[in-house]
């Protein structure tokens, strides 16, 4: 019987998989150490990458705040040449790919309540501007475009005028004094009472929001700022370029996000580098396991061919063993890394709360692409590692193998 006759038969793939599994479970300690190496390598990479991604998202959210990433802020920067008057506003509105268009006036004014009076910044806004700023209401409600003589105030303003119970402040009357300049350039002053309809927590200074049409009815000719959003983030650069060609200044949360991404791209790569040390140990361990397994089982493998197997079946056997080791190690490593991440995140929250931080936060992220990507990455690594043992197994001559002592 020549070699061609040996290769004319084959072993079913299901049986090859069974043999691969039985071999791995027969050498329990060796298989465990190999899988443990994969767990450490993949677990470390997953833990560090999820930390880097989560920390980036946390910093981005804190820095960018509620501003939508696909938005633009437009100002005239006190230019005497161009202003955000109705004519220019309409010109900007006609640009393509705009989904929301918010306008805002803002003036330095004063807030009075009973015997208390403090300086404050007063914003005259419309509903889209409110949404684009993503104001988070704590009590009451936000302004709509049909409101008049109502105000949304931040917590700091209420504390400044000695209102301790911010929830009960909804419905209270406050007095605002707001100096402004009308369309004729005449300096005037608005003195009016407003009913508080909502309270927000954000803001480091005293901030008050009132309906923007109030300033329009007083003859204020130019807005202080415009916020607009686009259908897609990729339209933002061309919209900014067009608006800037009109003579206005623009900014976008995208600028900040890009800078943060640049910093964390390097940071994440550095973290993965540390995790890669564990990965090298896992690769060497797997290569050692499969190579020793081949040397120990040469006679057994020759017998498999003599009993009806093909040389390529031996190659498949080693490939399946590598895939099994890779998948079990990668999945277990990711699960353990997720559990450890929850534990670490809980410790960090407890530490932060002991230092006065009230709001919970998450510094880990588990995007599906990272989970699937690392499992596939480990399978590919396993296939690369098994290449030489599998090729060697494929070239086994059953007669020579059976002669081995």
> Which pLDDT does position 8 carry in this prediction?
47
* Chain segment 283-337, per-residue pLDDT in tens: 887 887 777 766 666 556 555 655 555 666 677 777 888 888 889 999 999 999 9
What SS3 class is residue 222?
strand
pLDDT band at 63 (very low <50, low <70, confident <90, very high): low
Same domain, 155 and 125: yes
Domain boundary among 203, 229, 251: 251
Same domain, 114 and 178: yes
pLDDT at 54 over 70: yes
Taking Cα atoms as reference points, which of 72, 64, 70, 89 lies closest to residue 241?
Answer: 72
pLDDT at 89 over 50: yes
Distances in Å between the Cα of 75 and the Cα atoms of 30, 123, 397 are: 67, 15, 80
φ, ψ of residue 199 to 5 degrees: the values are -130, 135
Same domain, 247 and 144: yes
Same domain, 97 and 238: yes
Same domain, 88 and 41: no
Same domain, 179 and 269: no
User: Total domain count for the chain?
Assistant: 2
Domain boundary among 228, 251, 274: 251
Same domain, 367 and 392: yes
Same domain, 159 and 240: yes
User: Do the beta carbons of residue 138 and residue 155 sit within 8 Å?
Assistant: yes
Same domain, 377 and 299: yes
Instruction: Please indicate, yes or no, whether the overall pTM of this predicted structure exceeds 0.85.
Output: no
Domain boundary among 222, 251, 280: 251
Same domain, 46 and 117: no
Instruction: Put residue 149 in one of left, alpha, beta given phi > 0 → left and psi -120 to 50 → alpha.
Output: left
* Chain segment 131-178, per-residue pLDDT in tens: 888 888 899 999 998 998 999 999 999 999 999 888 889 999 999 999
Distance CA 385, CA 390 (A): 9
Helix boundaries (H) for 8-164: 13-26, 28-64, 86-93, 127-133, 155-160
Distances in Å between the Cα of 321 and the Cα atoms of 6, 19, 39 are: 23, 9, 16
Same domain, 35 and 129: no
Same domain, 245 and 270: no
- Domain hosting 19: range is 3-64+259-403
Give the burial class of 78: count Cβ atoms within 10 A of its Cβ; 0-12 exposed, 13-18 middle, 19 or more buried. Answer: exposed
Distance CA 152, CA 290 (A): 69
């Amino acid at each position: 019987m020549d070699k061609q006759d040996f290769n004319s038969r084959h072993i079913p793939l299901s049986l090859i998989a069974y043999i691969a599994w039985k071999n791995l479970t027969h050498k329990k300690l060796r298989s465990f150490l190999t899988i443990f190496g994969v767990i450490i390598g993949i677990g470390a990479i997953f833990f560090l990458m999820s930390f880097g991604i989560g920390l980036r998202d946390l910093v981005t959210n804190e820095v960018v705040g509620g501003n939508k990433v696909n938005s633009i802020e437009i100002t005239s920067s006190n230019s005497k040449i161009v202003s955000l008057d109705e004519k220019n506003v309409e010109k900007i509105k006609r640009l393509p790919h705009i989904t929301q268009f918010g306008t805002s006036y803002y003036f330095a004014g004063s807030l009075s309540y009973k015997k208390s009076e403090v300086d404050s910044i007063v914003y005259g806004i419309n509903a889209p501007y409110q949404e684009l700023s993503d104001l988070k209401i704590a009590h009451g409600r936000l302004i709509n475009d049909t409101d008049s003589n109502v105000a949304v105030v931040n917590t700091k303003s209420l504390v400044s005028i000695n209102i301790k119970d911010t929830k009960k402040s909804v419905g209270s009357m406050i007095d605002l004094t707001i100096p402004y300049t009308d369309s004729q350039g005449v300096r005037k002053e608005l003195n009016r009472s407003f009913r508080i309809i909502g309270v927000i927590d954000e803001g480091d200074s005293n901030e008050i929001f009132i309906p923007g049409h109030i300033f329009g009815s007083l003859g204020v000719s130019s807005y202080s700022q415009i916020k607009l959003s686009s259908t897609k983030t990729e339209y933002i650069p061309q919209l900014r370029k067009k608006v800037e060609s009109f003579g206005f200044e623009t900014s976008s949360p995208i600028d900040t996000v890009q800078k943060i991404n640049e910093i964390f791209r390097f940071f994440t790569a550095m973290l993965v580098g540390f995790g890669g040390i564990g990965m090298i140990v896992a690769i060497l361990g797997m290569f050692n396991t499969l190579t020793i397994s081949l040397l120990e089982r040469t006679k057994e493998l020759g017998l498999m061919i003599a009993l009806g197997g093909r040389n390529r079946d031996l190659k498949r056997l080693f490939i399946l063993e590598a895939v099994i080791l890779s998948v079990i190690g990668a999945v277990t490593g990711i699960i353990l890394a997720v559990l450890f991440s929850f534990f670490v995140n809980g410790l960090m929250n407890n530490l932060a709360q002991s230092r006065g931080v009230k709001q919970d936060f998450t510094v880990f992220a588990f995007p599906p692409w990272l989970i699937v990507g690392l499992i596939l990455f480990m399978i590919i690594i396993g296939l690369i590692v098994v290449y030489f043992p599998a090729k060697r197994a494929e070239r086994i001559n059953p007669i020579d193998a059976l002669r081995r002592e």
